[in-house]
Amino acid sequence: MTGPELWTEEQRRIATEAEAWVRAKLDKESSGHDWRHIERVVSTARTIAQAEGADSFICELAALLHDMADEKLNIDPIAAEQELARWLANCGISEHEAEHVMEIIATMSFKGGSRPPMRTKEGQAVQDADRLDAIGAVGISRVFAYSGAKGRPIHDPGILPRGNMTEEEYRNGRDTAINHFYEKLLKLKDLMNTATGQELAAGRHRFMEVFLEQFYAEWDGRK
């Protein structure tokens, strides 16, 4: 369908307002959900939406707003979700569009386990874009930033990657940055919804494999 250049004036205004709201809220974030993460997810979602023929305006709003009700950013996630629903109801889009964006945001988070599959092409595009931001060079950078913020070690050969985890274990267990590759990042390539997402994930996945190989060689002092 259409990219931002073909949106109506009204759609442009709504996207600009959504961006301003998100920026104001996330500017000071350091948990890996900062404004730059949103910006990257928006860019990638645009690429996927265009290639997959998804509604780029719905994708843009969902990508911009996808972390606004996240439990890591909000002391009261239920209130944040209500605020988000109110914002969408009042921003000038149809009720149907508002519900679609809410549904995408509610279904897309990973949270250490599986969620119901994304129902629409737009949801699939935005979820792929969010997951793609956790892998590749950017994904590697985010793991170490997140681990550092949590005071966790880069690597500890004595701490093994965990298999199935509860949400509590996923968030708060004893963990290392390197283990997170096995617990999440290396699994994401196979969870892509769209062909474009799969294509982008393949390159980023290979880059992580090369990174890990090099990491272990250096860790062991191999020549």
Binding residues for Ni ion, total number by CB under 5 A: 2
Dist CA 163 CA 183 (whole Å): 7
Please state the closest distance from residue 17 (CB atom) to ligand ADP, in A: 24
If one counts every other C-beta atom within 10 angstroms of the C-beta of residue 31, the result is 16
Q: Which stretch binds ligand ADP (CB under 6 A): 22-30, 55-63, 79-87, 138-146?
A: 138-146
Looking at residues 40 to 79 of the shown chain, list those that interact with ligand ADP (rule: CB under 6 A).
Answer: 70, 72
Collect all residues with Cβ–Cβ distance below 8 Å to 75 and sequence separation of at least 6: none
Q: Which is nearer to ligand ADP, 1 or 155 (CB)?
A: 155
181 binds, among Ni ion, ligand ADP, none (CB under 5 to 8 A by kind): none
State the angle between helix axes of 195-219 and 136-149 in degrees (0 to 180), rounded to the nearest 10: 60
Structure tokens given for 72: 């890591």
If one counts every other C-beta atom within 10 angstroms of the C-beta of residue 77, the result is 14
For ligand ADP, the binding residue among 123, 136, 139, 197 (CB under 6 A) is: 139
109 binds, among ligand ADP, Ni ion, none (CB under 5 to 8 A by kind): ligand ADP
Binding residues for ligand ADP, total number by CB under 6 A: 16
Q: Which is nearer to Ni ion, 128 or 130 (CB)?
A: 130
Please state the closest distance from residue 135 (CB atom) to ligand ADP, in A: 8
Q: Is 40 exposed, middle or buried (0-12, 13-18, 19+ CB in 10 A)?
A: middle
* 147 part of the interface to ligand ADP, by CB under 6 A: yes
For Ni ion, the binding residue among 60, 97, 122, 130 (CB under 5 A) is: 130
Collect all residues with Cβ–Cβ distance below 8 Å to 185 and sequence separation of at least 6: 134, 135, 139, 143, 208
The dihedrals phi and psi of 16, each to the nearest 5 degrees, come to: -65, -40
Residue 106: name the closest of 84, 75, 73 by CA.
84
Residues that bind ligand ADP (CB under 6 A): 32, 70, 72, 109-110, 130, 134, 139, 142-143, 146-147, 175, 177, 180, 184
